[in-house]
Amino acid sequence: MQFIQNQMSLFVKAHDATASLLRSFVAHTTTNPLECLEFVLVSLISSTVAWYVVPTRLILVCAVVGVFAGARPEVWAGGKVVAAWIFRAVTYRIDVVKEGIQAAADSPDGTVVVVEVFENQRWWAGLGWIQHLLRTERSPWSDETGAIPRPHKDVYGLPPSATSIGSWIWQDPEWTLDFDWSPITVDQKEGWQYSDNRWHNCSAKMLAGSTTRRRMWTRRMKFVPGFGVSIVATALVKPKISERFEK
């Protein structure tokens, strides 16, 4: 009887989690349809590959073990934490790779990309300004919108290198503060822009209602094309034979 109750509780939790995820996905689809389409395509491809590569017996064993283990509250809680961590890590790596691929596609002959990372802090009574933010808001390091989390600038890695395509290197030795990133002036000493509890009403100075602040760090990275990419890029910019003889 206890087992049946645990399984029913697990089913209800799974149903609620799935319903919440679907509502979030539908809401996100209206604002970012391309990202949702990418997610669906990647999921389909990954599932298809896993189905043909991973033995069916192993999949069934994992499913059965998951049903029994999922009844334990500590396993359920740990699974949510691990899933959230994996999602953030994968999202970050995908964003970095996409930025690198896009920059390389725009200009494969040694393009320079400016990497922007925002440092976010909140003021707490007795603690002052620290990087401990609310769970419902942006992460301590993010993009300008605060929607995409970023790693700490000291551990921000370059996009992965491909020998045949090329590799990325840092053109600037260190990260530098940007004092001109916002139409609203920022503090000219430390680069902070202060705001209220909702990150609105920005100001260059700390006011009575200022409880959040952020500043932007930048660093340039350069794409060094491989031998194959250099040849292709050179060939693409050469005029056609007919064009050379028209003049």
Q: What is the pLDDT of residues 107-130, one digit of tens each?
A: 555 678 899 999 999 999 999 999
CA–CA dist 128, 211 (Å, integer)? 10
Give me the amino acid identity at 25.
Answer: F
pLDDT band (50, 70, 90) for residue 41:
confident
Query: 154 pLDDT exceeds 50?
Result: yes
Q: In the chain, how many H helices and how many E strands?
A: 6, 7
Domain ranges of the chain: 108-247
Supply the pTM of this predicted model: 0.52
Three-state SS at 157:
coil
pLDDT over threshold 60, residue 238: no
CB 121, CB 132: distance < 8 Å: no
- Do 151 and 157 form a contact (C-beta atoms < 8 A)? yes
DSSP 93-149: HHHHHHHHHHHHHH-TTT-EEEEEEEEEEEEETTTEEES---TTS--SEE-SSSSSB
Band (186; pLDDT cuts 50, 70, 90):
very high
